Amino acid sequence: MHVTHDSAAGAAPTIDFNQFLSVDIRVGTIVDAQPFPQARKPAWRLWIDFGPTIGVRKCSVQITENHPLDSLVGQQVAAVVNFPPRQIGPVVSEVLTLGFPDANGKVVLVQPSKPVPNGGRLF
């Protein structure tokens, strides 16, 4: 699942804490990463292990500029796990992997600074 945002835009409208809590952001470990040649823009397909409760979920990510395919397996990432699945070309993306734009607007993955247990929820 990929969503594009304008990094030059101002802050989003104010929300209350319960709205924040409704977005389930978890940490998982990338267990497989494959090319996604059918994507319109360069992308990888990831399989991310979110621990025994959530399990392994798939997604499509446009991170090819900053994250070489051979560097991804074993890395931990943050993702929204409670959005509905989204069809991306021939594949279904089950989570929204999170990132920030670099100086050129290319995605840099959000990752914990130290290893943490898979499935941990952001707070």
Q: Which residues contact 11 (CB under 8 A, 6 or more apart)?
A: none
pLDDT mean across residues, the chain: 92
Type and span of the H or E element at 35 = strand 25-35
What is the CATH architecture assignment of 17-109?
Answer: Beta Barrel (2.40)
The structure tokens listed for 79 are: 């993702």
Q: Read off the pLDDT band of 6 (50, 70, 90).
A: low
To the question of pTM greater than 0.75 for the whole model, the response is yes
pLDDT in tens, 44-96: 999 999 999 999 999 999 999 999 999 999 999 999 999 999 998 888 999 99
Q: How far apart are CA 114 and CA 61, in angstroms?
A: 22
Whether the per-residue pLDDT at 7 is higher than 60: the answer is no
CB atoms near residue 100 (< 10 Å)? 11
Where do the structural domains in the chain lie, given as residue ranges?
A: 17-109
CB atoms near residue 30 (< 10 Å)? 22
